[in-house]
Amino acid sequence: MSKRTKRAEQGFSLLEMVVVVGLAFTVMAFAVMNTMSSSQNSRANSAMDAVISQLRQARELAIAKRRNVQVQFTAPNLIQLTVLTLPGEAVPTPMQPVLLNDGVPGGAIFYVFPAPVTDTPMGFGNSTAISLQHPTGGGAWTVMFTTSGAFCGTAQSAASLYQATNNNPVNASLFLGVVGKPNTARAVTVFGATGRVRSYYWTGSSWQE
């Protein structure tokens, strides 16, 4: 009997089995990591799309209904739209608030990642996840789309909500992602004068639209 035949009859050695099992586990680990990364990126993209959708819906409502539409962002993950009626008008049914990723555990939230993640190319600021540039005068402000489609700030007192605010456009930056996962960093900006919405994702070294 030849040595080759004799070896074949003996089967695999323990060392060979250990090597094969080790390789299998390594391949499985890479597959799981890639799947998790893909899932996290999907959640981040979904959350960013929700922010964009709410902003555009608010702007379209304001223009179509000829009423200012307030946009309220509440940490960590809530967006609420409200149509601001004129005095004496019937108050419409409150709009359903939107939660990023439906509020699932481990989902994306409004969040500013530390360096090396930077401010967006628009440079509206990233000191907070919900970053709004206040009009001159500061104070307590909320933001809304006006009937012209501009994104403006207005004092939060009841009377001031009805004042013309076209001269007070504010620029906004909204940062979000899955905490601890810089690859999920996303950003949405709004240019106050026109209400234009732009979105960005972090490549690992810079923001790209």
Amino acid at 117: V
Instruction: Pick the closest to residue 120 from 188, 74, 68, 57 (CA basis).
Output: 188
Cα→Cα distances 202→36, 117, 120, 176, 187, Å = 18, 7, 9, 11, 8
Q: Enumerate residues 6+ apart whose C-beta is below 8 A from 22.
A: none
Give the model's pLDDT for residue 133: 57
Give the model's pLDDT for residue 3: 53
Spatial distance between the Cα atoms of 7 and 13, rounded to a whole number of angstroms:
10
Angle ∠(131,202,204) on CA atoms, nearest 5? 130
β-pairing, 196-202 vs 207-208, is antiparallel
pLDDT at position 33 over 80: no
Mean pLDDT, residues 6-12 taken together: 55
57 touches 81 (CB < 8 A): yes
pLDDT at position 152 over 50: yes
What's 105's DSSP letter? T
Q: Tell me how far apart the terminal alpha carbons of the chain are, to the nearest angstrom.
A: 69
β-pairing, 78-83 vs 207-208, is unpaired
Average of per-residue pLDDT values in the chain: 82
Give the model's pLDDT for residue 72: 86
- Summarised one tens digit per residue, pLDDT across range 127-150 is 999 887 554 444 445 688 989 999
Name the band, by pLDDT with cuts 50, 70 and 90, for residue 91.
confident
Give the model's pLDDT for residue 29: 61
Cα→Cα distances 63→54, 103, 116, Å = 14, 30, 39
Token pair of 44, please?
Answer: 């981040």
Name the band, by pLDDT with cuts 50, 70 and 90, for residue 161.
very low
Mean pLDDT, residues 57-82 taken together: 92
Spatial distance between the Cα atoms of 173 and 63, rounded to a whole number of angstroms:
22
Mean pLDDT, residues 65-80 taken together: 90
